[in-house]
Structure 1
């Protein structure tokens, strides 16, 4: 699951990481990106005349995927995540998996460990970042939704997969991470069908992320400063065994 994330590196570092040069680099550091907000995404673009290199374009999209066939976005559920294991078979995501795969640059994401209701304990937030720092890229899907009046909205969702051992003690899902060496293959939708990139949708290696307990300041969308990532002292969770059955979390906000 991925219901909040951050993107705090400099615009130049972010755009260099995803090899985009034609985007206005004026976006601020964002420590608490939430659903329905605009997010930075990257998609493959047509090659320029005389070039053999694939081009990429960056743009802002609403975090909350809306399939093209939806008539009224207000009556459609908020789809912020898509399960990597089943997205190609879902009516909402099938076309985007085939034609509109994207990268979502991030510095890391937040996740909540939720105790059983009967325990009376409160949820604990974690800031989950790459151990080596820097920018990473989540796998995502994009769709441009058109309203009845002809206006258009670019929308996006983040793909999730089963959690690795580092994350499993907190939550049983995590975002799919696409490595730089796989950017071209993931973004190339003309020749690379979903079955050709299925191997990229696995959990990232166990030691890629570190989980840092943080305060509940992140729970409130209006809190947007670096203090959200300040560590707090709590006991680290134990690894949970994978849950069998269908995960219904993709429609929730957290």
Structure 2
């Protein structure tokens, strides 16, 4: 929802998709995991950010500190949950993502990408965590919604996907305009196949 990403195309294509002049150079990556850096578009440009929010100082609805790292944020609560207070919006561009079905030790990995072989853009939220000693760590969580008919057979959530025409609204628009984008991707636009030949321990 998503579980892991992959991004293997040349960086000049990524830049064209995001509408920027250039992006940080990144080698082909077949297995981008939570906790690793992902290329992220913010109002200030493209940078690398850690996938996973460390909610330092944030509290849940009961007033207790949020302890777990937040990899995904539910669209239904992203604008009103206290754990997300003060975060900003960003976009993560990838070639696709992976999900798993089945029981532990007998899971099937699924590779999800665009049917037209184009790139996909996930809505995300981000902030910058200041660690002890002053080190600053940009960090993000992807935003999820209910699945479309393509994804529903393998998962009960999917990431919110954006068209290039939506980028400016997501990054700069008001909450109402941004909330209108947090809907399942239209049916029939995704290709889902068993993931084969992926080194799950590697990049």
For residues 105 and 209 of structure 1, what CA distance do their matches in structure 2 show? 15
Residue 39 of structure 2 corresponds to residue 40 of structure 1: yes
Gaps of 5+ in 2: 59-65
Pairing 1:1-12 to 2, within 5 Å after superposition: 1-12=1-12
Q: Give the TM-score, by structure 2 length.
A: 0.89
1:27-61 per-residue CA deviation (whole Å, 9 max, x = no partner) reads 1111100011111000013xxxxxxxxxxx00001
For residues 22 and 69 of structure 1, what CA distance do their matches in structure 2 show? 35
TM-fit CA distance, 1:206: 0.6
For residues 199 and 103 of structure 1, what CA distance do their matches in structure 2 show? 16
* Secondary structure of 1:148 counterpart: coil
Gaps of 5+ in 1: 46-56, 225-254
TM-fit CA distance, 1:146: 0.5
Larger proportion of helix: 1
For residues 186 and 94 of structure 2, what CA distance do their matches in structure 1 show? 17
Aligned partner of 2:182 in structure 1 is 201
TM-fit CA distance, 1:93: 1.5
Q: Give the TM-score, by structure 1 length.
A: 0.72
Pairing 1:81-160 to 2, within 5 Å after superposition: 81-96=72-87, 100-115=88-103, 122-160=106-144
Assess if the C-alpha contact under 8 Å between 1:124 and 1:216 holds in 2.
no
Aligned-CA RMSD value: 1.9
Aligned partner of 1:64 in structure 2 is 52
TM-fit CA distance, 1:199: 1.2
Answer with 1 or 2: which has the greater Rg: 1
Query: 4+ runs of 1 displaced by more than 4 Å?
Result: none
TM-fit CA distance, 1:69: 2.7
* Secondary structure of 2:151 counterpart: helix
For residues 139 and 131 of structure 1, what CA distance do their matches in structure 2 show? 19
Assess if the C-alpha contact under 8 Å between 1:68 and 1:144 holds in 2.
no
For residues 197 and 101 of structure 2, what CA distance do their matches in structure 1 show? 12
* Secondary structure of 2:70 counterpart: coil
Assess if the C-alpha contact under 8 Å between 1:68 and 1:143 holds in 2.
no
For residues 184 and 2 of structure 2, what CA distance do their matches in structure 1 show? 14
Aligned pair count reads 196
